[in-house]
Structure 1
Amino acid sequence: MAILGIGTDIADVPRFAEHIERVPELLDRLLTPAEQLKRNGKRRTDASLAARFSAKEALKKAIGFPGWLPWQSAEVVPARSGAPSFRLRGLVLEHFHRIEATNIHLSITHDADLTMTFVIVEGEGPSLSPGVDWDADHFG
């Protein structure tokens, strides 16, 4: 198994909250109902909501999803361990299989007004971000 792609994203929490306040229906387009609510049924904090959106942005980069990502097709959910994970469906799941991906690692953190997410996608397919070919000719 190899790393197929990586993705990272930083979200400004007040900016995200401002967008949601201005266009409330945006929240329903970006996040599923389960992502918006805690287990007790109360709305998550702005930092938690921004982090979930940021995770989807990082996933889009890591899997090389072409064009617009159907936000509802990638849901941030807790794994059995409690760590954040993804539940994929629809076009995102189809693309995940097409690139021969088998595993996603997701890390989310936030401090003050920023959230940061990091995604690593593993699988059997070709790398989505090949990097540099470090052969002898490279150093001339």
Structure 2
Amino acid sequence: MIIGIGVDTVDIGRFERQIERTPRLLERLFTESERSLRLHSLAARFAAKEALIKALGGDAGLSWQDLALVRGEDRVPAFLPTAALVRVLGERGASMPHVSMTHDGGMATAFVVLETGVVPAPGDSLEAESEQDGA
């Protein structure tokens, strides 16, 4: 059963200007491996993190670092099961979120769906690796 849905859109040009004005935002918003990605991919990840917060109904004390995104074996994006994220999902009876990201025409959009289910233990392998290019 679906228990939360979130969507967010980011204007990539505005996102870029904000990063240029406040370079430390990169460290605050993204993990070390995420920071190596291109701007449009970062904007899509920021939209995904915002969409997850909306699907949860608030940040629940999660930091941006708790919401790391990776690419799985089939290049399907996924949230990394960090200890804090697993805790919050468990409190809500949710499984790991489904996420879809895209960027085109200067905009990045992400959609997140939460459904009931079992949450993996923190650090469980998703067979995911950090993406080096693309959304």
- Does TM, normalized by the shorter one, top 0.5? yes
Separation in structure 2 between the aligned mates of residue 69 and residue 15 of structure 1, nearest angstrom: 25
Q: How far does residue 72 in structure 1 lie from its aligned partner after superposition?
A: 0.1
Separation in structure 2 between the aligned mates of residue 36 and residue 116 of structure 1, nearest angstrom: 18
Match of 2:97 in 1: 104
- Picking from 111, 117, 121, the partner of 2:110 is 117
Match of 1:27 in 2: 26
- State TM-score, norm by structure 2: 0.80
Q: How far does residue 90 in structure 1 lie from its aligned partner after superposition?
A: 3.8
- SS of equivalent to 1:33: coil
- SS of equivalent to 2:96: strand
Partner amino acid, structure 2, of 1:58: A
Q: Structure 1 or 2: larger strand share?
A: 1
Match of 1:12 in 2: 11
> Is residue 65–residue 95 contact of structure 1 (8 Å, CA) maintained in 2?
no
Partner amino acid, structure 2, of 1:112: G
Partner amino acid, structure 2, of 1:85: A
> Within 5 A, what are the aligned runs for 1:45-84?
45-66=38-59, 69-84=62-77
- SS of equivalent to 1:88: coil
> Is residue 70–residue 92 contact of structure 1 (8 Å, CA) maintained in 2?
no
Larger radius of gyration: 1
Match of 2:131 in 1: none
- SS of equivalent to 1:102: coil
> What CA deviation, in whole Å up to 9, does each residue of 1:68-122 have, x standing for no partner?
6410001010112111110132433211110011131111011121011000011
> Is residue 3–residue 94 contact of structure 2 (8 Å, CA) maintained in 1?
yes
> What CA deviation, in whole Å up to 9, does each residue of 1:5-50 have, x standing for no partner?
000000000111111111111111000011112xxxxxx2211111
Separation in structure 2 between the aligned mates of residue 115 and residue 36 of structure 1, nearest angstrom: 16
RMSD: 1.7
Separation in structure 1 between the aligned mates of residue 54 and residue 94 of structure 2, nearest angstrom: 14
> Is residue 99–residue 110 contact of structure 2 (8 Å, CA) maintained in 1?
yes
> Is residue 8–residue 117 contact of structure 1 (8 Å, CA) maintained in 2?
yes
- State TM-score, norm by structure 1: 0.78
> Is residue 89–residue 96 contact of structure 2 (8 Å, CA) maintained in 1?
no
Greater alpha carbon shift after TM alignment, 21-30 vs 64-73:
64-73
Change over 3 Å in CA distance of 1:31–1:80 after alignment to 2: same
Partner amino acid, structure 2, of 1:3: I
Separation in structure 2 between the aligned mates of residue 61 and residue 76 of structure 1, nearest angstrom: 16
